[in-house]
Amino acid sequence: MSITLGTIVTALLVAEVVCAAVEFLHDLWGYCVNAPGTLCTAEMSETDIKMQEQTRDMIHETFGENIIDSVQDMDAAQRIKSAQNLIQALQKEYDLDVKVEFYGDDRHQCGFYNSRDNTLNLNVADLLSKTPERIQEFFDTIIHELRHAVQWKAIREAGYWNVEEERSKAWAKNFANYISASVDPRGYANQLVEVDARTFASGCLEGVF
């Protein structure tokens, strides 16, 4: 995992400004893509369920039992360092080697995984927020986007995560015909890789907050 000092410093400086004004912007714009209507869910494998349990344990090991209070008691640098520690632990558990970058200047995205350069991009403003819902959203984003990294690796490496060939081929087909949220919000939300990532993250955070 590679996070440069310059990236963190820049994120901190931007976040100080962003967090002061972002509360009313959230009401105006929203801070993530909100999928409309009833959403589909994906079936989780035995490996998925085991990893969900491990993920819950690692979140508690890093942030304690009362995660929101723990985060709110930290200053900005401590929050980022703890998030780095959690991501590093999750990558080790998931057998991933993803570069991590923080940003704080885009209120339309909580974060994203870029398969072309294998980067996990996270909106640090959500982590530094005073709002419990946005802090929780940051954790969901970490897991959701790492799940996309898992999907991508399973496509390229047979047997990874014990993913069956039929499933990895379906993911590959979806990535090749990916639906952008800006083009079709409902189609975006209900496509296979997004349903899977959303279901996995939801299970990881069940009961955590």
Calculate the alpha carbon distances from 18 to 65, 107, 124, 146, 162 in Å.
Answer: 28, 9, 10, 25, 41
Q: Residue 67: how many CB atoms within 10 A of its CB?
A: 19
Sheet holding 99-103, edge to edge: 99-103, 119-123, 111-114
Q: Given this model, what pLDDT does residue 164 score? A: 97
Q: Report the percentage of the chain scoring pLDDT > 70.
A: 80
Q: Given this model, what pLDDT does residue 100 score? A: 97
Q: Given this model, what pLDDT does residue 76 score? A: 96
Q: Given this model, what pLDDT does residue 22 score? A: 36
pTM reported for the whole predicted model: 0.83
What is the mean predicted confidence (pLDDT) over 132-153?
Answer: 97
pLDDT in tens, 60-95: 999 999 999 999 999 999 999 999 999 999 999 999
**Residue 27 phi, psi (nearest 5):** -65, -35
Residue 5, pLDDT > 60, answer: no
Q: Given this model, what pLDDT does residue 39 score? A: 76
